[in-house]
Amino acid sequence: MKKKLVVLTGAGMSAESGISTFRDSGGLWEQYPVEEVATPEAFARNPELMLNFYNARRRELLKAKPNEGHQGLAELEKYFDVSIITQNIDNLHERAGSSHVIHLHGELMNARSTGDPSLVYRLSEDNPDIKWGDVCEKGYQLRPDVVWFGEPVPMIEEAVRITRQADIFVIIGTSMVVYPAAGLLNYVPDGVPIYLIDPKDVATQRRDIHHIRKGASEGVKELKQLLLENEA
């Protein structure tokens, strides 16, 4: 039986694919104050600005390709039962071939009804924009199917359940400051090896973390080597 490998990924996972990160210097938040593009209040205040912002991000995503880090995680499914919990709203894990991906913060390529959250629509690559006036079948305006600041994170309970099953836990490219995702570390079972892939220091309360100080692509290569030597 394969060991359960649980991977938590953040913006640093997709940075090498050309996806803008939010918190690094030069990241997205420096160009747009968070209050303008990632809160329900901002959408109520200026929906067209918000829709245009996410339309531009969607077009950026369509040009991006999975990097070697994404591909390396997909390849690890040969050896492990892999679940990916991602804070990213892109679809690069799926495009690289990962088969079990939980999106904590929603999916950029989905639209959702503002009046009935159960109505979610996949956007096509040919027509990826959501425009003001685009409505669901009940007549409500559509919005990006992403979790904005101040909104609940519906998939967090599933993420906690998966984390509790981990035989190995890996963190890649996340600042570990956005809750509730950062709190997942508290649910990793005692004695389970934890690997962190990030070229920078990341603040955690744990001393038992194996830190691979590399970017996603090179870091996943080293992780794969370590895991196949130690864990498989």
Which residues are catalytically annotated?
Answer: 105
Query: Please, are residues 51 and 108 in contact by the beta-carbon 8 Å criterion?
Result: no
Angstrom distance (rounded) from CA 108 to CA 106: 7
SS (H, E, C) the chain: CCCEEEEEECHHHHHCCCCCCCCCCCCHHHHCCHHHHCCHHHHHHCHHHHHHHHHHHHHHHHHCCCCHHHHHHHHHHHCCEEEEEECCCCCHHHHHCCCCEEECCEEEEEEEECCCCCCEEECCCCCCCCCCCCECCCCCEEEEEECCCCCCCCCHHHHHHHHHCCCEEEEECCCCCCCCHHHHHHHCCCCCCEEEECCCCCCCCCCCEEEECCCHHHHHHHHHHHHHHHCC
Instruction: Give residues with Cβ within 8 angstroms of 117, minimum separation 6.
Output: none
